[in-house]
A and B are shown apart, each in its own frame.
Chain A
């Protein structure tokens, strides 16, 4: 793991980020996952996979999850403990048309569920970015897809607290 504690000037030819494919339930860590592209790729897309974030301490760690395999048995991203919460919003597009809306977190939100249909994760490329911005605090943004034939529902809940 590299810690970039200074200026990052990205005016180079290009840079690439490492990719990690998450095929099953896993504990997410700064050392193994921060700053990498994290593919949610449960083989077959038919088994629940839960990704537990490290406790938020304000490290600036960025965890970007990208759907590479649609999973109708749920990808869950949740915080480490009852004191951590997630603030922000995720834009969701309804594949039945072109309408987009946004779900906003509640004050107690600590879990994100992409069920492959109503709550997002209905398309490869759907993504969520979480940033550890302070003690007990993640921020979230992202863009996901509600699968055709489904009605949108929030992906946020409080299952840890």
Chain B
């Protein structure tokens, strides 16, 4: 196939464009304003720097693939004194990752829960106990239970005490999320995991 160089771009194309032998953008970059980019096979090589989008969650919200997957999700309830519940989409094995990071400590609970009674969360989080600023402390790990479907960070005993605390959820299969994370807790530590949906 002969090469064809577009120097002025395409202003209006009603149908899909198929590129059979690769495409190189030599300047100006590539901007996608809608529809996204789908890679269905092969290796995606990130040969340059890249930046993930940041979404700040300031109140209860429904988490969706379109708006939240792969982004940095800051839990930032202004004032840190109102409950916020973030409901995950139903797990389908999409591979979507949802990384929640505490940017405002909230003693009225950040709650992350699954969409329905058939979804569960498996994994564990590592928790630092009663740390002091600039100090050291022992670690414990909370594993999930078979029925776990909810994570509660109460800003004290169950974690979320410090900015930077995080949990990472991955949609690995139908009805199944995995979880990992690194948290700080204070007082008498307690599990962040429960079953409130099932």
A interface with B by C-beta (< 8 Å): 1-18, 30-36, 58-62, 87-89, 91, 100-107, 109, 131, 133-134, 137, 139-141, 152, 154, 156
Contacts and interface: CB of A to CB of B under 8 A. Distances in A.
Contacts of A102: 126, 128, 131, 136-137, 139
Contact of B46 (A16, A30, A58): A16
A61 B51 contact: yes
B67 to A, nearest CB: 7
Contacts of B41: 12-13
The interface size bin for chain B is 35 or more
A104 B43 contact: no
8 closest residue pairs by CB, A with B: A8-B70, A88-B164, A106-B134, A11-B95, A139-B164, A15-B44, A35-B50, A87-B163
B153 to A, nearest CB: 15
Given A7-B65, A11-B95, A60 B51 contact: yes
Contacts of A18: 45-49
A1 B139 contact: no
Contacts of A6: 32, 36, 53
Interface of B: 29, 32, 36, 39-54, 65-72, 74, 94-97, 101, 103, 126, 128, 131-139, 162-166, 182, 184
Given A9-B94, A35-B49, A104 B132 contact: yes
B43 A15 contact: yes
A105 B95 contact: no
Nearest to A104: B131
A14 B50 contact: no
Q: Specify which of A31, A100, A101, A107 lies most central, judged by the most chain B CB atoms within 10 Å of its CB.
A: A101
